[in-house]
Amino acid sequence: MNVPLNNSRDILNSTKSTMNQPDQFKNPYEIDEVSDKIQKFLRDHSQFIERVSSLSEFFAEYDSFIQYLKENQIIFQILDIDKKIFSDLVISKMIPVLIKDSLETSRELSYKRIQRLEKFDEALSKSKHLIQEKIQLEKNFEIS
């Protein structure tokens, strides 16, 4: 991921403080700046999801390999390999399962948080248009 975790937290914290003070933005440029940061965070989230998905593919390959070892236990018997080693290999199948579950939980949580950021970005966009209209109305009023 391109954004360090601290930087991502900074974006989220600034977003929270902004949500508590909706009139903090006085011009469209400030909104653009925050919106750009949100868009960068959304791109980084997309990269995160891609990486989590690639890890899931790794675990599928690992599962296939463990299944292959189970099916070909006779190879271990012929080679006179300790059955404890084989059983340890099979038991080690639980490790990827736990990691997969953790990754899936992380993915679900990140989706929920990203949805909030997307909604906030949408609200910012609407606010930007309102501020632009307000500025234009003020200019028109001053002219007249």
DSSP 42-104: HHHHHHHHHHHHHHHHHHHHHHHHHHHHHHTHHHHHHTT--HHHHHHHHHTTHHHHHHHHHHH
Does residue 44 register a pLDDT over 50? yes
Tell me the per-residue pLDDT of 65-111, one tens digit each, with 9 for 90 and over: 777 877 777 666 656 666 667 677 667 777 777 888 888 888 888 88
- For residue 108, the model assigns a pLDDT of 87
pTM of the predicted model, to two decimals? 0.53
Comparison of pLDDT for 116 and 89, the residue scoring more: 116
Domain extent at residue 24: 5-143
